[in-house]
Structure 1
Amino acid sequence: MEAGIFYVLVGSVAVAAFARWRGWPAPLLVTVVALAASFLPFVPELDIDGHLLLSLVLPPLLYSAALDVSFVGFKRSLPQIRRLGIWLVLLTALAVGFVAWWILPSLTLPGALLLGAIVAPPDAVSAAAIGRRLGLPRRIMTVLSGESLINDATSLTLYRVFAAILAGATVSVLGGIGQFLLAVGVGVAVGLVFGIVLHQLRMRISDPVVIGTFGLLAPFGAYAIAEHLLGSGVLAVVAMGLYVGYNSPRTDYTTRQQEKPLWLSADLLLESFVFAYIGLQFPRVLSDLGSESVGQILLLSGAVLLVVVIVRPLFIYPTSAWSNFQDRKRLERWDRGVESGEFDKRHRRSRRWAKYTADELRSHIVREQMAGLQLTWKDSAVISWAGMRGVVTLAIAVAAADLATLDTEASHAIVVVAFIVTVGTLLIQGLTLPMLIRSLGIASDVDEEEDEAALAEVRAKSREAGKKYLAEKRIEWEGKYGEVDLSVFDAFTKRMTRVEKDTDEAQKVEDAASRPSYEDLVTLSKGWLQVRREILLAERDAGNLDEEVMRELIAAMDAEELALDTRGATRQQSRA
């Protein structure tokens, strides 16, 4: 078993590496190759407990995804994300359940609804990979990523409810809602506690290896404790990841530089293994079909696949249209309130709005409450077709097959349907999604235009803050070294990249004690970088700068700081 897992890991990573080299979607290629390899006699057959698979794979994948999600974008797109991650999952589960019960009555209604909960949540791994490669706009990527972070929690909660009903427990609608609210509350609370503790450790411990190790362990701890307390382990990991990711720019740069490649490698390893595992289950599915009801189960699988594909656009288009209509009406109410003066009477009482003029507030409301939520019909088409199922569907199906309350035929039916739906959506939607995106002409050009406008404003503020910081430091240096020896400082302000050269020249002066040392210039450089970081954080928090753009700029500053420290270490070694 252990050797088989190792071989699958190595093979899946090799296939994924080839796909990345060719620019192809790695999850799709790994699944197809694993499907073909499952017929070879020397390929090992893996049989992993579904609960164990979820517990080992889901926490790190969710945490890594949450770290990269823009919290500001997530908050802006929360209405869309909530509709897809909660209500669409519930609607899909009910639709699949009733169709499955009608086709295969022996499943019973609770068993059919259990199947619906299993196949309801899409997996955004492959969709996100395709979207990044083809340059989907951030508004779409944020919705897809945010949906994938919370729909698993909804699905797993529904799974618990229907499994309890199958076991003979009496669960009312209010009881089910109560279980869901408990799962959400406990999960988010546990995740925030873990996130706060981990962030404080990241702020206080300067060893990136230790912090990276804590980061690897924390998702498993948050998931396990939340599940033990009857909360949602998924939401615990997501809440922790969002909190840590949002506050990551405030930590030491070495932590960020070590963390990024660490999680990229973990993602590649886990995602490759998961999709290989999905493909390798094909022989097991064939053996499960060796019963008299094979035709009925295949009919059920095709029907469920059709339902999960059709329900998604039927839900997304009308709800998006209704959301856009409500946003327009809300903006009209704001305009009428501003014109009549009623706005000032009602909103000036709030400390939150008091700092804005009427025009500034209208612009603020448009940006904060409507930006990212107005999806066009093309956006909705892409989101509707990005409904591929993945590891959660298959892992829950394998776990459900072991339920004592399900008979053999029902267990086989659930595993077969989950497998066919997962592979079917991966191949049908995954292979055609790039063509759909290209045919609709959706690209991130709008993002680039908005980024340029935002960056121009941020650069102006950064220049002003930098000038203020350098003016204060110049006065400090003038008192310390004398006005005659400020040539190095003035050269620094003109071009930061000449700091080392100017410092070397300064070191050659006989009266070195009256000159600024290399350490002084390094401190000045780091202070200048810190001022720029604070400006970026302030603009991000105010909603003026997209979080992804901010992270790219901070990564460039981290590289500058690393260069400073590297030069300093080299100088110390040469002196030694």
Structure 2
Amino acid sequence: MIWQVETTQALWLLAVPVSALTVAAAARRLGLSAPLVLVIAGLLLSFVPGVPEFELDPEFVLYVFLPPLLFSAAWQSSYYNLRENVRSIALLSVGLVLFTTFAVGYTAHLLVPGLPLSAAFVLGAIVAPPDAVAAVSVAQRLGLPRRAVTVLVGESLFNDATALTAFRVAVIAATGAGFTLADGALRFLFAALAGAAVGLLLGPPLHWLRTRLDDPLVENGVALAAPFAAYLIAETVHASGVIAVVVSGLYLGHRFTESPAVTRLIGRSFWKVMVFVLETVVFLLIGLQLPPVIDGLSQRGWTELAGWAVAIFAVTVAARFVWVFPASYIPVWVSKRAREKDSGIGWRGRVIVSWAGMRGVVSLAAAFAIPFVTSDDKPFPGRDLILFLTFTTVLGTLLVQGLTFPMLIRVLRVGSDRERYTDTVAEAGAQHAAAQAALERLEELNAEEELDESVVTRLRELAEHRQLRAWERLGGGTGPEGEEVPTATYRRLRREMLSAERRVFVRMRDERRIDDEVLDRVMHELDLEEVALHRD
């Protein structure tokens, strides 16, 4: 009987990721936002008879899900872009989070009878940090200006640290464990600085180790262990695990160019799969959280609850607008340097940034981490209500803001075609210069070693082909009359040739003329060549 119960639980645990991947695949095929569809699917599944309650374990989320997601985002972020926009990122990831905490906290304290201000601030800290996963993916797909995307990415990297620190301070105050405003400020500063120190101390030795392993699989295994190590070490010394993970990820990602090519190929694919799986499971779990949240609210009227939920959602959304516009315009008005640095995204871009405030799994994990009792063994004030208001705010932002976000970008026409053209020109120039350097080096080697002329000719053609391909991208792959340019023809024909080669190799394997190991090796070579043919 025990075996049967455990088997049933294991089947349900397997059903969650399988269902999440199935829904995500359908959403991607239909061109829909996968995070939003997954939340709705989870919400609908939670009402199906027989589906068990899946209650998020906050420790599991914060120690298992959060580190790799943050690390991957930091790894892929541009250190230089983040540094150039550090003022805007800090104003959002620190200033806006604290402002939202106070705005939502005071609103909840005034609206809900008997809810202490300290407990209300716990709610404010929980719903303060946006999760920019969905927003950034849509923004990049629709061509939002790079500075706006960088700011959103930078905010999502660091705002969790501010919110979780504010959450812990508010919980200490609400449980009566002894608290002053000075204590809270010191805790926050220590957590941030110590977390950054852990990340900086961990990054260089991990990079040194990875560059000396000479084994792509082991190197990427070290990268996988890095976020968990950074988070665990930082949390052990009461520092910010989030900042430690982000700083170490930025450092290792910035030095990733020093890794071998095979390591980079494997790493990119690995992290894409890892993030995709984790995000699909997390967003489905968000939707499945409703039944355990509702269970603790049987004593309250639903009309009253709905009113509070709408009010908290509205204040959460409005607080971002109230903060973003003054915080972005005032420095430009008072500082000449800020005016020169401002990219001129205008009010439309600021509206987009203000609307990109979808909340996610960090808010729910923090809500479930609220203790059940205070220091004097009394029930934590309003815990069930805080859980409910957190869930409705997360769901509201994902559905209302998430569903309308792509449409808002199109209506306001903030896509940056000029920026894309500039990037293409810059890439073509860089490709041209790099190919020229390669040709010069080839001539030097030819003069020194008297190489086989057929080999030299072949290498010259390859370098010249890369030069030509870079400039032809400016025309979108077509000539002046819309005809196919030579490099596009080359790619199309070469892909057909590669397909023919694969068919021969597979047929010879099926006829047992070559072994599967041989097939795997030659297929890998063909795959690498085909990937190189595709334009990113």
TM-score computed with the length of structure 2 as normaliser: 0.81
Q: Does residue 4 of the first structure (1) align with residue 12 of the second (2)?
A: yes
The aligned residue for residue 446 of structure 2 is 474
Q: CA separation in 2, counterparts of 1:331 and 1:185?
A: 26
Q: CA separation in 1, counterparts of 2:245 and 2:319?
A: 28
The aligned residue for residue 129 of structure 1 is 137
Q: Does residue 390 of the first structure (1) align with residue 360 of the second (2)?
A: yes
Q: Does residue 156 of the first structure (1) align with residue 164 of the second (2)?
A: yes
Q: CA separation in 1, counterparts of 2:425 and 2:300?
A: 65
What letter is aligned with 2:434? Answer: S
Q: CA separation in 1, counterparts of 2:338 and 2:237?
A: 42
Query: Using a 3 Å threshold, how does the CA distance of structure 1 residues 399 and 462 change in structure 2: closer, same or farther?
Result: same
The aligned residue for residue 421 of structure 2 is 449
Which of 350, 374, 398 is the equivalent residue of 1:426? Answer: 398
The aligned residue for residue 491 of structure 2 is none
- Describe the superposition over 1:12-66 as per-residue Cα deviations: whole angstroms up to 9, x where unpaired: 1110111111111100000011111111112221123212222111001101111
Q: CA separation in 1, counterparts of 2:322 and 2:247?
A: 30
Which of 495, 512, 515 is the equivalent residue of 2:462? Answer: 495
- Describe the superposition over 1:184-217 as per-residue Cα deviations: whole angstroms up to 9, x where unpaired: 1111111122222221222112212112222222
What letter is aligned with 2:461? Answer: K
TM-aligned CA deviation for residue 386 of structure 1: 0.7
Mapping of residues 65-76 of structure 1, within 5 Å: 65-76=73-84
Q: CA separation in 2, counterparts of 1:331 and 1:227?
A: 36
- Describe the superposition over 1:407-463 as per-residue Cα deviations: whole angstroms up to 9, x where unpaired: 366111110000000001100100111110110112131221221332244234324
The aligned residue for residue 330 of structure 1 is 337
Which of 358, 375, 378 is the equivalent residue of 2:345? Answer: 375
Q: CA separation in 2, counterparts of 1:80 and 1:53?
A: 28
What letter is aligned with 1:380? Answer: R
Which of 188, 204, 208 is the equivalent residue of 1:200? Answer: 208
The aligned residue for residue 106 of structure 1 is 114
Q: CA separation in 2, counterparts of 1:307 and 1:95?
A: 7
Q: Please give the secondary structure, in 2, of the residue aligned with 1:46.
A: coil
What letter is aligned with 2:352? Answer: V
The aligned residue for residue 351 of structure 1 is none
Structure 1: 5+ residue stretches without partners: 333-365, 499-527, 530-565
Q: Please give the secondary structure, in 1, of the residue aligned with 2:299.
A: coil
- Is the 2:55–2:292 contact (alpha carbons within 8 Å) kept by the matching residues of 1? no
TM-aligned CA deviation for residue 489 of structure 1: 2.1
Q: Does residue 237 of the first structure (1) align with residue 245 of the second (2)?
A: yes
What letter is aligned with 1:493? Answer: R
The aligned residue for residue 534 of structure 1 is none
Greater Cα offset, 13-22 or 163-172: 163-172
Q: Does residue 93 of the first structure (1) align with residue 101 of the second (2)?
A: yes
Q: Please give the secondary structure, in 1, of the residue aligned with 2:382.
A: helix
TM-aligned CA deviation for residue 154 of structure 1: 0.1
Q: Does residue 26 of the first structure (1) align with residue 34 of the second (2)?
A: yes
Q: Please give the secondary structure, in 2, of the residue aligned with 1:171.
A: coil
TM-aligned CA deviation for residue 298 of structure 1: 3.2
The aligned residue for residue 223 of structure 1 is 231
The aligned residue for residue 488 of structure 2 is none
Mapping of residues 151-550 of structure 1, within 5 Å: 151-292=159-300, 294-326=302-334, 329-330=336-337, 370=341, 373-404=343-374, 407=379, 410-478=382-450, 485-495=452-462
Q: CA separation in 1, counterparts of 2:94 and 2:463?
A: 51
Percent pairwise identity: 39
Q: Please give the secondary structure, in 2, of the residue aligned with 1:190.
A: helix
Query: Using a 3 Å threshold, how does the CA distance of structure 1 residues 375 and 319 change in structure 2: closer, same or farther?
Result: farther
Query: Using a 3 Å threshold, how does the CA distance of structure 1 residues 191 and 456 change in structure 2: closer, same or farther?
Result: same
Q: CA separation in 1, counterparts of 2:300 and 2:220?
A: 53
Q: Please give the secondary structure, in 1, of the residue aligned with 2:114.
A: helix
TM-aligned CA deviation for residue 128 of structure 1: 1.7
TM-aligned CA deviation for residue 139 of structure 1: 1.6
- Is the 1:94–1:116 contact (alpha carbons within 8 Å) kept by the matching residues of 2? yes
TM-aligned CA deviation for residue 570 of structure 1: 6.0
What letter is aligned with 1:254? Answer: V
Q: CA separation in 2, counterparts of 1:189 and 1:93?
A: 26
- Describe the superposition over 1:65-104 as per-residue Cα deviations: whole angstroms up to 9, x where unpaired: 1111111111111111111100000000001111111112
Q: CA separation in 1, counterparts of 2:263 and 2:101?
A: 41
What letter is aligned with 1:417? Answer: L
- Describe the superposition over 1:453-507 as per-residue Cα deviations: whole angstroms up to 9, x where unpaired: 32244234324422432232122113xx6xxx54532442233599xxxxxxxxx
Q: Please give the secondary structure, in 2, of the residue aligned with 1:495.
A: helix
Q: CA separation in 2, counterparts of 1:463 and 1:255?
A: 23
The aligned residue for residue 554 of structure 1 is none
The aligned residue for residue 58 of structure 1 is 66
- Is the 1:51–1:396 contact (alpha carbons within 8 Å) kept by the matching residues of 2? no
TM-aligned CA deviation for residue 320 of structure 1: 1.2
Q: Please give the secondary structure, in 2, of the residue aligned with 1:273.
A: helix
What letter is aligned with 1:492? Answer: L
TM-aligned CA deviation for residue 266 of structure 1: 1.2
Q: CA separation in 1, counterparts of 2:140 and 2:176?
A: 46
What letter is aligned with 1:255? Answer: T
- Is the 2:36–2:399 contact (alpha carbons within 8 Å) kept by the matching residues of 1? yes
- Is the 2:373–2:380 contact (alpha carbons within 8 Å) kept by the matching residues of 1? no
Q: CA separation in 1, counterparts of 2:204 and 2:256?
A: 12
Q: CA separation in 2, counterparts of 1:213 and 1:197?
A: 15
Greater Cα offset, 73-82 or 46-55: 46-55
Q: Please give the secondary structure, in 2, of the residue aligned with 1:4.
A: helix
Q: CA separation in 1, counterparts of 2:87 and 2:400?
A: 28
TM-aligned CA deviation for residue 396 of structure 1: 0.5
Q: Please give the secondary structure, in 1, of the residue aligned with 2:357.
A: coil
Query: Using a 3 Å threshold, how does the CA distance of structure 1 residues 135 and 103 change in structure 2: closer, same or farther?
Result: same
- Is the 2:39–2:283 contact (alpha carbons within 8 Å) kept by the matching residues of 1? yes
Query: Using a 3 Å threshold, how does the CA distance of structure 1 residues 229 and 131 change in structure 2: closer, same or farther?
Result: same
- Is the 1:320–1:375 contact (alpha carbons within 8 Å) kept by the matching residues of 2? no
Q: CA separation in 2, counterparts of 1:50 and 1:385?
A: 27
Q: CA separation in 2, counterparts of 1:186 and 1:408?
A: 30
- How many residues align? The count is 463
- Is the 1:4–1:45 contact (alpha carbons within 8 Å) kept by the matching residues of 2? no
